[in-house]
């Protein structure tokens, strides 16, 4: 419960925390952002880390001149692509063991089911589309590894999705993050981003439950 409270507080005051990070970390802030994006996309046990909101907030700070937009683009795109690649390899190596035991530490089966539903609906394009959906973003490459998706094909979708995700979310923060109303209501904007991102998960879960009830 305390962890959830701390995560919520961190999310609600995201811009303030990033500014504080800049004060004590300086240029190392880029390394911290790189690590968060890499872990959120690359480690299947950390889907709770901020993704879209992190990129948006970083873009907003870039608009204020506190971070360099080009450095953010390059470092975070690399982090996103490497993260998905590592996640794919984890799925390919340990996926069969998971299917045999139906359990892995800190991995919830319903999250995998939601990701499977995405693959059934969108096919391999899920690797790109899932970039914009929390939770599914973390599990999509893992499921692709379990399903032995061609790594060459996965790699193409991974690069396209990683670039699109980072450029879209960071640029959005850069363009609107310093509009007076957005600055004054930054917490609400971040919550809105998270809620909109989660809508596809809610839709898929409701759709699958309805299908199961009819069968």
pLDDT in tens, 134-180: 888 888 898 888 887 888 889 999 999 999 999 999 999 898 877 77
What would the mean pLDDT of 75-97 be, rounded to a whole number?
A: 91
- Among residues 86, 103, 204, 202, which one has the least CA distance to residue 144? 86
Tokens, residue 170: 């960071």
Tokens 């996309």 correspond to 41
Give the pLDDT confidence score for residue 87 in this predicted structure. Answer: 93
What would the mean pLDDT of 100-104 be, rounded to a whole number?
A: 63
**What is the DSSP-derived secondary structure letter of residue 26?**
G
- Among residues 60, 28, 39, which one has the least CA distance to residue 187? 60
More confident residue, 186 or 11: 186
Contact between 184 and 124 under an 8 Å Cβ cutoff? The reply is no
Confidence category of residue 193, pLDDT binned at 50, 70, 90: low
Q: What distance in Å separates the CA atoms of residue 41 and residue 144, rounded to the nearest whole number? A: 13
In terms of residue numbers, what domain contains 200? 2-214
Query: CB-based burial of residue 104 (10 Å sphere; 0-12 exposed, 13-18 middle, 19+ buried)?
Result: middle
Percentage of residues in the chain having pLDDT higher than 70: 69
Tokens 């509009």 correspond to 179
What would the mean pLDDT of 111-126 be, rounded to a whole number?
A: 74
CA neighbours closer than 13 Å in the CB half-sphere of residue 84: 28
Query: CB-based burial of residue 140 (10 Å sphere; 0-12 exposed, 13-18 middle, 19+ buried)?
Result: buried
Contact between 135 and 201 under an 8 Å Cβ cutoff? The reply is yes
Give the pLDDT confidence score for residue 132 in this predicted structure. Answer: 86
Contact between 87 and 142 under an 8 Å Cβ cutoff? The reply is yes
124 pLDDT higher than 60? yes
Q: How many residues does the chain have?
A: 215
Percentage of residues in the chain having pLDDT higher than 90: 24
Domains: count for the chain: 1
Q: What distance in Å separates the CA atoms of residue 75 and residue 35, rounded to the nearest whole number? A: 10
Indicate the average pLDDT of the chain: 79
Q: What distance in Å separates the CA atoms of residue 145 and residue 154, rounded to the nearest whole number? A: 9
63 pLDDT higher than 80? yes
Spatial neighbors of 63 by CB under 8 A, at least 6 apart, are: 173, 174, 175, 177, 178
- Tell me the Cα Rg of the chain: 17
């Amino acid at each position: 419960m305390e962890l959830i409270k701390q995560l919520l507080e961190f999310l609600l005051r995201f811009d303030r925390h990033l500014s504080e990070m800049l004060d004590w970390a300086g240029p190392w802030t880029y390394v911290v952002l790189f690590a968060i994006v890499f872990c959120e996309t690359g480690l299947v046990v950390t889907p709770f880390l901020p993704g879209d909101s992190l990129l948006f907030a970083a873009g907003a700070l870039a608009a204020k001149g506190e971070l360099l937009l080009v450095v953010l683009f390059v470092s975070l795109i690399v982090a996103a692509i490497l993260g998905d690649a590592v996640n794919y390899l984890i799925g390919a190596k340990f996926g069969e063991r998971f299917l045999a035991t139906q359990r892995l530490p800190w991995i919830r089966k319903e999250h995998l089911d939601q990701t499977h539903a995405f693959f059934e609906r969108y096919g391999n394009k899920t690797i790109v589309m899932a970039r914009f959906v929390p939770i599914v973003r973390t599990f999509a490459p893992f499921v692709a590894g379990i399903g032995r998706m061609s790594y060459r094909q996965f790699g193409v979708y991974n690069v396209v999705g990683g670039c699109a995700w980072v450029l879209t979310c960071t640029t959005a923060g850069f363009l609107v993050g310093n509009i007076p109303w957005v600055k004054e209501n930054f917490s609400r904007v971040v919550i809105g981003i998270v809620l909109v991102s989660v809508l596809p998960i809610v839709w898929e879960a409701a759709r699958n439950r309805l299908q199961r009830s009819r069968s």
